[in-house]
Structure 1
Amino acid sequence: MEKLIVIIAVTGVQGSSVANVFLREGGWKIRGITRDPSKPASRALAAKGIEIVRGDAEDIESIKAALRGASVVFGNTVFPEAFSNPTAENAPTLAPGQSLREWCYETELRHGKNIADAVATVDTLDLFIWSSLSDAKKWSGGKYTGVYHFDAKAHVVDYIHNEYPTLAKKMSILQMGLFITNWKWGQAAVPWEKRPDGSMVLRVPGSGDVPVPLVVPSDAGYFVKALTQVPAGKNLIAFGDRMTWAEYVQLWSRITGVPATFEKTTVAEHAKLAPGGYGEEMAEMYAYAQDYGYDGSDPSVVSAHQVSVRPLAYVRVLS
C-alpha cells in the first residue's frame, strides 16, 4: 500500500529534491504544497505525476487541508526574500525600532509555527521531518544573537517541544550543511575577491580552523529519504564533506586552475560587504560556525554515517 508524503514548499531547492527522490523510489504518493500551483515550476512537477495543491504558511487552514491523509510531512521555510533582495516591491513595513533582520526572523518563525500547528492536526502522521539549523544564540551562549536565519528555524523546534509533545515524538530534524552554491548570492554570501594579478582570495570571519559541513542543496531528498528509514527523533546534519576553509580554497584552486589563498577576517570587516544587515548576518554566521561549530556542537546531532540506513552513495562528495 502506498504511503503519502506531503512536501511543504515543493518548488524550492529542498522541496523539489525531496519530490524527485521519492518519485524514483516508488511505493509513495507525493503531494506538493506551493503558494502558486500555476507557476512553471509547479506545473513541471505536476507533469511528473506529483499532486500539486495550494497552501500558504500565512493561512493555517490551507496547510491543514493540504496535509490530510499524510504519513510523512517534510516541512521547510525560507528567510523572506525581502532580506536578500530588498526591492521596493517586497520591502516590508517595519515596526518602530524594528530592523529588517528582526522582521524576517519573526516572519519565518511565524510561518514555521503555523506549519507546526497544521501538522499537529494530522491523525495519520507517522513522521514529520523539519528542515532546521542550529540555535546560534543558544549554543554560542548569547555571543551571536543575530544569526536570525538559523535561529528562526531552530526556535520552531522549541515551539513544537513546548506546545506539541506528541508531535515532537514523531519529529526528526534535518540540518542542511552550508550550501556549496551560496556563491551565487554574491560576495557577502561567499566572500571571494579578485586580486590585480588575477588570483583570488577568500576572507572568512573566525579562526578558519574548524571544518565546515558542505552540501549540494539539491541532495536534500536523499537525506530525507534516509530519515524515513529510521525511527523518529534523529537530528541529522547533512553534508558531502567537512573541510576547513583553507582546504576548501585549495580544492577550489585545484579544480579551477586559478591561484587562490585563504585569509581570516573579522565580523566587522565582513559586515561592510553588503548593506541592510545582510553582510552582518553572514559575518555572524561564519564566525559562529568557527567559534562553536556549524551545528553548535549540539550533542544530539548525528551524521548520515552514524544512522543505520543503506549507504548514501548517491550523495555527492566534493573532493
Structure 2
Amino acid sequence: MAKKIITVLGVTGTQGGSVAERFLSHPDWLVRGVTRNPGSPKAKNWASRGVQLFQGDYDDVQSLKAAFLGAHAIFAVTDWASNHARVTADAALQDKARAAGRTFEEYAGDLETAQGINVATAAAEPVVLRTLERFVFSTLPAVRDISRGEIVHSWEFDSKAAAEKYMRALPPLSRVLSTVTMGIFQETWRDIPAFRPRRRPDGTFELLRLRAAAGSHVADPLVVASRDTGAFVEALVLDHPTGTDVLGASAVLSREEYAALWGRTLGVEASVRDVSEDEYRRYVPEDIQVTLLDDLKFFAEYGYTGGNAKVKLPGELGIKTTPLEEYIRAQDWSLVLSGEM
C-alpha cells in the first residue's frame, strides 16, 4: 500500500520540524519537507532521516505547487520575523515599503500575508486538490479587527489572520482547512529577557509583567512549540474532521502560576513583579518592542484568541501535550540561576 504524503513548509524551523518529527513516527506516511535551501545542514539532517526535500520559496507559487503535488496533507506556516529581517536588510524592500506608505514592520506583515496567499493559491490548484485531504494552517487572531482598531501594532498576528481570511474564502481549500492558533513559545526565554525569570539580590527570582497589560484575561496559552506543534497537527490530520481549530497550548497559566511552577520545579522561590512600559522595554529586543507590548495588551483585554469559541483547547480534542515542568527541567538554567542572564 502506497504511503500518504504530508508536505511540511518550514521543515527546518521550530514548527515545521516538530510536525516532521511526529509524522516520521508513522510508517504509513511520507514526510515531504519544503525549504529554501535543501543544502543547509538542517535540511541535510532531515534528508538523512528519510524526509523528502523540495526546494520551495514562499514568493514562488510554482515552487509551492510542485511541492504540494500528490500530497494528502499540508502543514503551512509563515513567519513575520523572517520577513522583517529581510526588509531591514534589503534597501529595495525598504524603498517599496516607503512607496507604499508603510513602516518596515507593516511591510513585513504585508509580505507575510502575500506569502500565505501564495501558499493558499498553490494548494487550491485543481491538480493539488485531487489528492489533498487536509490543509492545516498555523495562524493567529485578527487583533486590529477584534479590538476595533484600538490595537494596531500586532503585525505578525494580523498578517497571519489576513492570510487565513483569504484561505477561508477559497471554497475548494476551505473545505479541507483546519487551523492551530499557536500560543506563546516557551523556547523564546533564551532570546527575550522579559520572558525569563531574573535573579534578585536576595537569591529569589522574579518574572516581569507589563502593568499596562491589565484586563480580565490573566492566563495565556504557553506552548513548547518544538515538541507539541507536531501533536496538534497530527490530531488535526488523523483524528478530527476538517474545520477543527485548536489552540496550540501545552498549558494555559497565569504569570503567577508559571512563576510558582518554575520555582517549584527548580527548587527556588519565584514571584511576579508588575513593571512600567519603560522598564519592560529594557528587557525586550528593540525590533519587537512595539508589537510585543500591543500583543500583551490584547491578550489581557480580549483573551489570546479574541473570544473565538471555535478554537478548542487540546484537552477537549484529546491531545496530549508536554508537561511544562518536564520542559523546564530539561533546560539549562545555569546562567539564569547564577544571575548571569
Say yes or no: TM over 0.5: yes
**DSSP-derived class of the 1:181 partner:** helix
Q: Which amino acid aligns with 2:110?
A: E
- Quote the Cα distance in structure 2 between the aligned partners of 1:101 and 1:193: 29
1:118 aligns with 2:140: no
Q: What does 1:101-250 align with in structure 2 at a 5 Å threshold?
A: 101-121=105-125, 122-123=128-129, 124-162=131-169, 164-188=170-194, 190=195, 192-205=197-210, 206-207=213-214, 210-218=218-226, 219-228=228-237, 229-250=239-260
Aligned residue for 2:22?
21
Q: How many residues align?
A: 313
Tell me if structure 2 keeps the 8 A contact 1:109–1:155: yes
1:118-171 per-residue CA deviation (whole Å, 9 max, x = no partner) reads: 111112211100011111112222221111111111111111123x12211110
- Quote the Cα distance in structure 2 between the aligned partners of 1:84 and 1:284: 20
- Quote the Cα distance in structure 2 between the aligned partners of 1:316 and 1:41: 24
Shift of 1:81: 3.0
TM-score by length of 1: 0.90
Aligned residue for 2:334?
none
- Quote the Cα distance in structure 1 between the aligned partners of 2:259 and 2:102: 38
1:185-211 per-residue CA deviation (whole Å, 9 max, x = no partner) reads: 2225x2654434343322222237521
Say what the alpha-carbon RMSD is for the aligned residues: 2.4
Q: Per the alignment, do residues 277 and 43 of structure 1 end up closer, same or farther by CA in structure 2, a change over 3 Å counting?
A: closer
1:219-263 per-residue CA deviation (whole Å, 9 max, x = no partner) reads: 111110100121100111021211101111111222233433212
Q: Which amino acid aligns with 2:206?
A: V
Question: Is the deviation greater in 295-304 or in 113-122?
Answer: 295-304
Tell me if structure 2 keeps the 8 A contact 1:191–1:204: no
Q: Which amino acid aligns with 1:147?
A: S
Structure 1: where are the runs of 5+ without partners? none
Aligned residue for 1:100?
104
Tell me if structure 2 keeps the 8 A contact 1:268–1:280: no
Aligned-pair identity in percent equals 33
Shift of 1:265: 3.7
Question: Is the deviation greater in 271-280 or in 168-177?
Answer: 271-280
Structure 2: where are the runs of 5+ without partners? 326-341
Q: Which amino acid aligns with 1:143?
A: E
Question: Is the deviation greater in 174-183 or in 194-203?
Answer: 194-203
- Quote the Cα distance in structure 2 between the aligned partners of 1:257 and 1:223: 31
TM-score by length of 2: 0.84
- Quote the Cα distance in structure 2 between the aligned partners of 1:255 and 1:10: 32
- Quote the Cα distance in structure 2 between the aligned partners of 1:235 and 1:114: 22
Q: Per the alignment, do residues 93 and 276 of structure 1 end up closer, same or farther by CA in structure 2, a change over 3 Å counting?
A: farther
Aligned residue for 2:310?
300
Q: Per the alignment, do residues 28 and 173 of structure 1 end up closer, same or farther by CA in structure 2, a change over 3 Å counting?
A: same
- Quote the Cα distance in structure 2 between the aligned partners of 1:82 and 1:52: 22
Q: Per the alignment, do residues 274 and 89 of structure 1 end up closer, same or farther by CA in structure 2, a change over 3 Å counting?
A: farther
**DSSP-derived class of the 1:80 partner:** helix
**DSSP-derived class of the 1:204 partner:** strand
Tell me if structure 2 keeps the 8 A contact 1:128–1:171: yes
**DSSP-derived class of the 2:24 partner:** helix
